[in-house]
Amino acid sequence: MSTASLDIKFKQSLPKNLISNVIYFVLNIAIGLMLVPFFLDTLGKEAYGLIPLATSITSYITLVIDSLNTSISRFLTIDLQRADVKRANETFNTALFGSLCVILLLIPIALAAAWYAPVFFNIGGQSTTDVFLLFALIFGSVLIRTWSSNFMVTLFAYNRLDLRNYVNCANLFMQLILVVTLFLYLGPSLVLVGLSYAGAAIATLVISFTLSKRTCPFLKISPASFLRSRLKEIGGMSAWVLINSVGLLLNTQISLIVVNKLFGEVAGTEYSLAALWSTLLINIAALVTNLFTPMTYSYYAKQDREGLIRFTSMTIKIMGLSMALPIALACIFSPQLLTIWVGEEFAHLAPLMWICVAPVILQIMVSCIAPITVAYNRVRSLVFLTLPMGFLNVILALLLPNIFDIGMYGVALAGLITLILRYGVINPLFIASVIQIPVFTYLKKMLYGIGGILVLSVAGIALLSVVTISTLPTLILAGCGIAAAYLLFVLNVVLNPEERKIIRSYLPGVCQRRIPSWVL
């Protein structure tokens, strides 16, 4: 296989990756938001609260696999960039069969966790058998999807993130079609929710395998290419990525569990409604920030340190300014969004939305530079700095509600404090030191996103003080007005000509021709 055939065209792939991101963006929002009121109407508040709880628990089960996939993405991308086909096959097969062994070991653990879920959590009047099957099926679907991600890694390595997005779109469609069909014919049931997740995961596995073979035909499934020495190399990094992920989950996913245990299943449902928006915005941003990961590995493989610094500095600034808009709008119009989305009785959760949603701007900006620690194999050093933040979050989540008598708001404040320390201080300073630049370099770039949130919040609050917004049309009109003014200001005042030129060059040709130069 020639070197030319292994050349990865990052810039050429970016437009179609962006288009696929937009498609997945719309579907993710539409399906995710529609299913919540659908479940609330058919299952009720108590039963619905168990669904996000079960899906959040799966994060702990997939930690091992996700950490392995992070490592394999790094090694496989570098192998392909260096045109080492033999080593790429060894990397691929070592990960494929190694992760399969790990999944087989996780199956009894997943079943045990599902078995004790009805005992450990507040389930109200739900059947223990239904709750067990819900957790077991969702756990099973995640294990299937994590193994199928081995085939998705090949798409990642070739920067075919458009195909990855279409696979994820297929998974969303299958979940939606299956759950609605099963509910209509068999009646609402938690078990059927689990079956829809499992069925969609199986379909996704088949699609992932097919696309992987078409994209990378020279990567062959071969047990003979499994190397223990390669597994040790990949596993060493995976272990530290795993530990780092544990700290991240202790910072994020632990909140739902604490709220459920301390304040009951109804409070858990209310908290999940606010937390869903933060998760949704992070996932939406990840559709763009994930585009930067293979580029980061490419810069590292080519030993282009200066190019990496310029690229990552620009991505932090642009992503911070871009995501400040939807984050601020979600906070500003949180009472209206909650009322239109799930009903007026949930509008009182607006302050909780502010606490949960606003600080995710820090996590999103840091995700632009997070691959640097993997590329430079410095995850271990970062773990010792960030893991304590996870334990601190757990401690504060248990203490603050009792100390200040503020209920689940104390859990949210605990997450706010530790998230600021982790993503607003530790990560950007450490990552800057990894590539040996002034430690405040990235932190200064993050001020653009923070400033965007503050400016938009002030403008939005001022607007609401003089204008009453209570219907969907007025909400859309107000949001579009704020967005148009903000984007014009950012594009023409905040961004410099070089940044505007770079952004324009990455857009699809049809967009470049249609967008006036005075806009971008």
**What ranges in 158-264 are assigned the alpha helix state H?**
161-186, 190-215, 228-252, 254-263
Q: Are 360 and 327 in contact (CB under 8 A)?
A: yes
pLDDT at residue number 20: 83
> Cβ distance 366 to 319 under 8 Å?
no
* Residue 507 burial by Cβ neighbours in a 10 Å radius (0-12, 13-18, 19+): middle
Amino acid making up residue 20:
S
Q: Are 95 and 74 in contact (CB under 8 A)?
A: no
Which pLDDT value is given to residue 486?
Answer: 93
Cα–Cα distance, 313 to 307 (Å, whole number) = 10
- If residue 191 lies in a helix (H) or strand (E), which one and from where to where? helix 190-215
The pLDDT of residue 368: 92
Give the pLDDT score at 4: 42
**Token pair for 440:** 């405040």
Quickly list DSSP for 447-497. Answer: HHHHHHHHHHHHHHHHHHHH----SHHHHHHHHHHHHHHHHHHIIIIIS-H
Report the distance separating Cα 471 and Cα 434, nearest Å: 50
Structure tokens at 506: 């990455």
Instruction: Give dist(CA 315, CA 311) in Å, integer.
Output: 6
Sequential pLDDT tens for the chain (520 residues): 434 444 555 566 667 777 887 788 788 778 877 888 888 888 887 777 778 777 766 666 666 666 777 777 788 878 877 777 888 888 888 888 888 888 888 889 889 988 888 887 777 777 888 889 988 998 888 889 888 888 888 887 777 878 888 888 898 889 889 988 998 888 888 889 889 989 999 999 999 999 988 888 888 888 888 888 777 877 777 777 878 777 777 776 788 888 888 888 788 888 888 888 888 888 888 878 877 887 888 888 788 899 899 999 999 999 999 999 999 999 999 999 898 888 888 888 999 999 999 999 999 999 999 999 988 888 888 888 888 888 898 899 999 998 888 989 999 999 999 999 999 999 999 999 999 999 999 999 999 999 999 999 999 999 888 888 878 888 889 889 999 999 888 888 888 888 787 777 766 666 667 777 666 6
